[in-house]
Homo-oligomer: A and B are copies of this chain.
Amino acid sequence: VRLEVFFTPEELTGGDIRDHVAVVIDVLRATSVIAQAMSSGARTIYPVATTEEAVRLGQNLDRSELILCGERGGLRIEGFHLGNSPLEFTPEAVGNRVLVMSTTNGTPALMAALPARRTLVAAFLNLGAVAQSVANEDAITIVCAGREGHFALEDAVCAGMFVERVMNLGAGSYELNDCALAALALANRFAGELDAMLRVSAAGRQLIGIGQEQDLVYCGGVDQLTVVPRLEDRRITV
Contacts and interface: CB of A to CB of B under 8 A. Distances in A.
A188 interface: yes
Contact of A177 (B156, B186, B202): B202
How often does this chain occur in the complex, in copies? 2
B200 A151 contact: no
Interface residues of A, number: 26
Interface string A198-220: 00111000000000000000000
Interface of chain A, helix or strand or loop or mixed? helix
A78 interface: no
A6 B151 CA distance: 8
Interface in A45-82: none
A193 to B, nearest CB: 11
Contact of A182 (B149, B156, B177, B188): B156
A137 interface: no
A111 interface: no
B10 A7 contact: no
A177 B188 CA distance: 20
23 contacts: A6-B150, A7-B151, A8-B11, A10-B10, A11-B149, A11-B151, A13-B149, A147-B178, A151-B178, A151-B182, A152-B178, A153-B178, A153-B181, A153-B182, A156-B182, A178-B201, A178-B202, A181-B200, A182-B182, A185-B189, A185-B190, A186-B186, A189-B189
* In the A-B complex, the 6 residue pairs with the closest CB atoms: A153-B178, A185-B189, A151-B179, A178-B202, A151-B178, A153-B181
